[in-house]
Amino acid sequence: MIRYTLACDRGHDFESWFPSSASYDEQAARGLVTCPVCHSAKVGKAMMAPSVARTDRGRSAPAADPAEMSAPAPALEPSVPLIAEPERRMRAMLRALREHVTREADHVGPRFADEARAMHYGERPARAIYGEASADEARALIDEGIEVAPLPPAPDDRH
């Protein structure tokens, strides 16, 4: 829809809507566009620039600022939500892993290094264990080729 501000030959200004500028031209040529005040068919456009009705945002939408249009759009940072989601999932996975370990494995406490080493060298039947070890003990186990992994912290350990 296009809104035209029209004026008749007697100086009456009025607004009228048309499906298109071609439709206005056709109706005006056929004398169908008349002044609502004096009904004169001798009307013409009072303004050169018609107002185009916007169906998406409504007519109340402010006109685009030329300076704003020329300015580059601010750089988006899509990595922010993408980091948050895996972080949240990872915590859930770690929490599930911890729950699995603490449910299925034997808690050996500070004897973890000795137990792990004993199982590694066949002194005891292999089983899943978890417990505590110092950083030096953990490093020594890894150096000996014993597979150990840090137990994920409990959710309450964080924050």
Residue in this structure with the two tokens 């089983």, named with its chain if needed:
127
**97 vs 93: CA distance, rounded Å:** 6
Nearer to Zn ion, 12 or 124 (CB): 12
Closest separation between CB of residue 60 and Zn ion, Å? 30
Nearer to Zn ion, 38 or 151 (CB): 38
Closest separation between CB of residue 58 and Zn ion, Å? 30
Binding site for Zn ion (CB under 5 A): 8, 10, 12, 35, 37-38, 40
Nearer to Zn ion, 6 or 116 (CB): 6
Closest separation between CB of residue 31 and Zn ion, Å? 14
Nearer to Zn ion, 38 or 108 (CB): 38
Q: Where are the beta strands (DSSP E) in 22-79?
A: 43-45, 51-52
Question: Treating both helix axes as pointing N-terminal to C-terminal, what angle do 112-120 and 135-143 enclose, rounded to 10 degrees?
Answer: 10
Strand duo 106-109 + 43-45: pairing: unpaired
Q: Where are the beta strands (DSSP E) in 9-159?
A: 13-18, 43-45, 51-52, 106-109, 129-131
